[in-house]
Structure 1
């Protein structure tokens, strides 16, 4: 069921077996996996249920990534699921899904602190369950299931490069389907408009007794539970741990100063252009378009093989191909500049003067591109369909290359509490986040390998854009700030997601990733959350949840 926390009396205490903080995909997955097992579950959502209950504001007051950039989150039931906007050709917005690679879980000498305490084999059963959770068919992330006579994989020679697949899930699976399950459940109560402010740690037992939350300024609530799960993502989770400093001065889980450290994201990089050796090859690349196969939307892309990533200093990245027709260099520079101007304005920033000048000088290229898009929608990260528009080679002659890039874990990339406060009085966070020269060199090396393998296979030429051009520094994949490691000196949580030194406090979601590969993280987030739910089901005791009201008010059971 759903309850507006504002309707609870001030000072009320809600008791349950499990309290989950955060109603995005991670928290929702834990909650719904705990149905029908005798446990009473409380799920806290900072925002509301619908669009008119939008976020109170962004939690980041300062962000540094070679300059300033605003960081936005979505405070609303479903979390970032509300922002999934891929048009998969079904009339609904979708999310891009793929697994991490096996090598992403392993130690690589040129990426210190990148290894997970888990292997992909340990997570594989939960990836399969996550597919089911998203109402998708079985786990097929190789090309074999998806290719056909009209959509073969590229004939890559050697062992450096391979074809992998993205799946696309309807966001309404989360926003409507899972919401209906919770609404009909007598085991789960979701309190919305309930912003967690701090955790109450019992110093003598080493357990968290309660989550202290605010429904609005001055409207305090207490949520007690035997097991507490933080599922707020890579920004709000460290924010809450650091703000819980009444017993431990540095915050909970921060005895080695690691909460908020190793912050990562997935920057998008314009890689350059790929010109096929034969223009007719474009007609045989439908596998790399976003298309429907047996009722499921999928899209091919290129990635480095695990053997390459183990053997050559590099980072993982996807190579996504979008067909284009050529423009003069002046027009292309103008169009690229116009995109950067638009992105700056979207973020409420002043565009760079050189971009304004370049866009003006190449205005005919800008107009050509937008005219083409009006006549025939152009493919990009959010839209496919180019392979279904006649013979593509008649109008298209090359591919634009976009990379989603692994950012190496760096100790000095971090989230910490700032001095500014939100309207509830909670301290906002500051983000320190930048590329290192070595990070850029590793991206260059990975691009060189892609170019080498395409040329070796006789498929064409990858013209790499140098210096590296970043389309966006953030895909809002906030990773790594409560990293997973068996040694408390190297991580905030253990392999089960339990906070080191706190018996009943768990974290799930993107913040526990020690490294992030290039893969969109949501499938892994849900897999980890289902794994944690299984552990809680096996270990937690059952108790009847009660609401304790302020003195003199009758106590009433939930549900």
Structure 2
């Protein structure tokens, strides 16, 4: 059932086997998977649609690089999928490795454990065959310039589900009729309260914009509220320790990563009908939508000491349909403890402290932009695929991608992160985190497929591991 916390007749004191905070792709996927075995309460701070009052609670302060906190997030059933453009891609094997030239890289799990869930994750995003191998699409495009420089470049691909996944719309009917899943909208969780020993979550506090409040009890709790709201809630929960929940080593809110996007100035693609498929979205004969991109090979990344990235060729909406395409670079951001989220003394309508986000890039980020941009421009010009329009170089302007990642990062040791390889918060027995905030490194790829794969892995782990505990 779906209940509205703003309805005075709806009880705000609730109990379930598992409470999930956040109704985005991770939250809804977990609710459906776990609801087949346990009673689940899914909590959403927003309503069925976005509202100005709800959006105001997303506002905060920013330093460092520009970042619009309200425009990049959505507070409503379905979460950030309301803003999602539908780009689907998967991480490369190198993204999971400990790379000597990328400080704090490496995942604490076997990448195969995650990759095995990619097909199902893609299917849930309506990419029906789960194929992300660009060679499978070779007949539909051209690899002209990639084959001219095999020592550096390799092809990549974005896929698009048909139709674009709408988690709220697709799941609303099921959630309304479910006997095992209750959904509470317009109820914002404002506090995680631990037991006296600090090892277990005892309850959550939920509030409404009308001033009502309630208590949520459960055996297990999962926070799936996104890369800003999840650490915000943990930092604001100070009833047992002033540093917040799960923050004994000062990692909650740190390691904020995005996917910086820059353009290569002074160059554009030369007229070449063979490269038409590289610009915009193409379709195979059977209707699979895709677009090509180009990246650095793993051995080239190691040799050059740079981050993972992809180049794409684009026209802005303001450009003429026949205008020469421009070159854009879509980058991994390196883990950086100084890029972080903190709380201010100002409160929002729910009584939660507003956030301050400091987003900055490190030297390896800037260096990677320059090296990849120069290599790509040289290759395009050398092979007659690009033409000069001015002085070549990457733009100074750093664009964001609406991806808030890394702020509750996964780590083997508690001193290095917030959650373990199974997404359980270090030192707390019944608290888990789902979503992009747990990613220790973020690849070049749009994170939705990987986030869903991690979510499916977590659901399997919880079903396998909690059965006997829940029965006791």
Q: TM-score, normalised by structure 1?
A: 0.77
Q: Measure, in 1, the Cα distance between the counterparts of 2:186 and 2:131.
A: 39
Deviations 1:380-433 (A, max 9, x none): xxxxxxxxxxxxxxx55x430112222211111110111111012111111111
Report whether the alignment pairs 1:513 with 2:439. yes
1:270 matched residue in structure 2: 263
Q: Which one of the candidate residues 436, 447, 450 is aligned to 2:376?
A: 450
Q: Which one of the candidate residues 466, 470, 478 is aligned to 2:393?
A: 466
Moved over 6 A (4+): none
Report whether the alignment pairs 1:100 with 2:91. yes
In structure 2, relative to structure 1, the CA distance for the partners of 1:476 and 1:141 (3 Å cut) is same
Question: Does the 8 A contact of 2:282 with 2:291 survive in 1?
Answer: yes
1:303 matched residue in structure 2: 295
Q: Measure, in 1, the Cα distance between the counterparts of 2:315 and 2:46.
A: 40
Q: Measure, in 1, the Cα distance between the counterparts of 2:398 and 2:360.
A: 15
2:44 matched residue in structure 1: 45
Report whether the alignment pairs 1:479 with 2:405. yes
In structure 2, relative to structure 1, the CA distance for the partners of 1:58 and 1:99 (3 Å cut) is farther
Could you tell me which runs of 5 or more consecutive residues in structure 2 were left unpaired when the two chains were aligned: none
Q: Measure, in 2, the Cα distance between the counterparts of 1:441 and 1:216.
A: 46
- In the TM superposition, residue 199 of structure 1 has moved relative to its aligned partner by 0.6
Q: Measure, in 2, the Cα distance between the counterparts of 1:100 and 1:253.
A: 27
- In the TM superposition, residue 451 of structure 1 has moved relative to its aligned partner by 3.2
Q: Which one of the candidate residues 160, 170, 177 is aligned to 2:152?
A: 160
Report whether the alignment pairs 1:118 with 2:45. no
Deviations 1:502-539 (A, max 9, x none): 01100011111111122111111111111111111112
Q: Measure, in 2, the Cα distance between the counterparts of 1:465 and 1:212.
A: 54
**Higher deviation after alignment, 60-69 or 449-458:** 449-458
- In the TM superposition, residue 50 of structure 1 has moved relative to its aligned partner by 2.4
Deviations 1:127-167 (A, max 9, x none): 1110121222222212222232x523335232311111101
Question: Does the 8 A contact of 2:19 with 2:41 survive in 1?
Answer: yes
- In the TM superposition, residue 44 of structure 1 has moved relative to its aligned partner by 0.5
In structure 2, relative to structure 1, the CA distance for the partners of 1:465 and 1:81 (3 Å cut) is farther
Larger Rg: 1
What secondary structure sits across from 1:466 in the alignment?
Answer: strand
Q: Measure, in 1, the Cα distance between the counterparts of 2:87 and 2:418.
A: 28
Report whether the alignment pairs 1:400 with 2:326. yes
2:450 matched residue in structure 1: 524
1:22 matched residue in structure 2: 22
2:341 matched residue in structure 1: 415
Question: Does the 8 A contact of 2:12 with 2:206 survive in 1?
Answer: no
Q: Measure, in 1, the Cα distance between the counterparts of 2:41 and 2:388.
A: 52
What secondary structure sits across from 1:298 in the alignment?
Answer: strand
Report whether the alignment pairs 1:61 with 2:53. no
2:176 matched residue in structure 1: 183
- In the TM superposition, residue 435 of structure 1 has moved relative to its aligned partner by 2.4
1:389 matched residue in structure 2: none
Report whether the alignment pairs 1:34 with 2:25. no
What secondary structure sits across from 1:285 in the alignment?
Answer: helix
Deviations 1:189-217 (A, max 9, x none): 11100101011101337110222110234
Q: TM-score, normalised by structure 2?
A: 0.91
In structure 2, relative to structure 1, the CA distance for the partners of 1:264 and 1:205 (3 Å cut) is closer
2:281 matched residue in structure 1: 290
- In the TM superposition, residue 184 of structure 1 has moved relative to its aligned partner by 2.7
Deviations 1:355-381 (A, max 9, x none): xxxxxxxxxxxxxx95x64xxxx4xxx
2:206 matched residue in structure 1: 213
- In the TM superposition, residue 30 of structure 1 has moved relative to its aligned partner by 1.0
**Higher deviation after alignment, 221-230 or 116-125:** 116-125
- How large is the RMSD of aligned CA atoms in angstroms? 2.6
What secondary structure sits across from 1:80 in the alignment?
Answer: helix
Q: Measure, in 1, the Cα distance between the counterparts of 2:177 and 2:469.
A: 20
Deviations 1:334-365 (A, max 9, x none): xxxxxxxxxxxxxxxxxxxxxxxxxxxxxxxx
In structure 2, relative to structure 1, the CA distance for the partners of 1:53 and 1:296 (3 Å cut) is farther
What secondary structure sits across from 1:447 in the alignment?
Answer: helix
